Structure 1
Amino acid sequence: MTVTRSIVLFVLAALFEIGGAWLVWQGWREHRGLWFVAAGVVALGLYGFVATFQPDPHFGRILAAYGGVFVAGSLTWGVIVDKFRPDRYDLIGAAICLIGVAVIMYAPRT
């Protein structure tokens, strides 16, 4: 259950961080207005809060592992929202990152 909870929290954090950054981008760069920017700032704050619910008590480990989730999540966001087509190197890189997440977070420790 702890691994499942951790994965759900990583996915939720990714949605808040990537979605928040996307909202800021849309609001500022695409001139969609300050409401987009404000919503993005709130979502980015929620990302930071969600990370605190990870079962591991070490901030550095959580943030390092989340980096790999962010890579894969950003590509997935691009596919779904921006119709981006990752190439095989994007996919290989994301897979390597997710393997790193698994090693960092879920390797047995004494």
Structure 2
Amino acid sequence: MPTLLAFALAALAEIAGCFAFWAVVRSGAPALWLLPGAASLLAFAALLTQVEASAAGRAFATYGGVYIAASLLWLWLAEGVRPDRWDLLGGGICLAGAAVILLGPRG
């Protein structure tokens, strides 16, 4: 699986899983939301193992930038809150950092 696809699917799975827990605890959603939430978090963990990286920590660090950008997209599409320029700037900086970690030349 291509790395970018694995990161994108992992981010969707993690955000959806965490949102399910958020909805139960903070928004009063039925406790049954926890079942697909837990399954989504398991899928997240499995997807992250598909990333081409020389070390788990490097994959996780790179994923952090992708997660931040995906969370801003979730904020806009799922929660109806449009990210402001500071959100976008921060997300861009995180993605740039992720690219440096993943693509930087290694000796």
- Which range, TM-score by smaller chain? over 0.9
Of residues 4, 11, 17 in structure 2, which corresponds to 1:14? 11
Question: Shift in Å at residue 48 of structure 1?
Answer: 0.7
Is 1:50 aligned to residue 50 of structure 2? no
Q: Give aligned-pair identity as a percent.
A: 37
In 1, the alpha carbon distance for the partners of 2:88 and 2:7 equals: 19
Match of 1:29, SS state, is: helix
Output the TM-score relative to the length of structure 2. Answer: 0.93
Measured in 2, the distance between the counterparts of 1:75 and 1:49 equals 23
**Alignment partner, residue 96 of structure 1:** 93
Cα distance between partner residues in 2 of 1:61 and 1:104: 7
Q: Which moved more, 1:31-40 or 1:10-19?
A: 31-40
Q: How many pairs are equivalent?
A: 107
CA distance in 2 between counterparts of 1:51 and 1:57 reads 13
Unmatched tracts of structure 1, length 5 or more: none
TM-score normalized by the length of structure 1? 0.91
- The answer as to whether partners of 1:65 and 1:105 remain within 8 angstroms in 2 is yes
Q: Give 1:71 shift.
A: 0.7
Shift of 1:38: 1.6
C-alpha displacement of 1:27 = 2.3
Distance 2:74 2:32 in 1: 21
- Output the CA distance in 2 between the equivalents of 1:7 and 1:55: 10
1:25 equivalent to 2:42? Answer: no
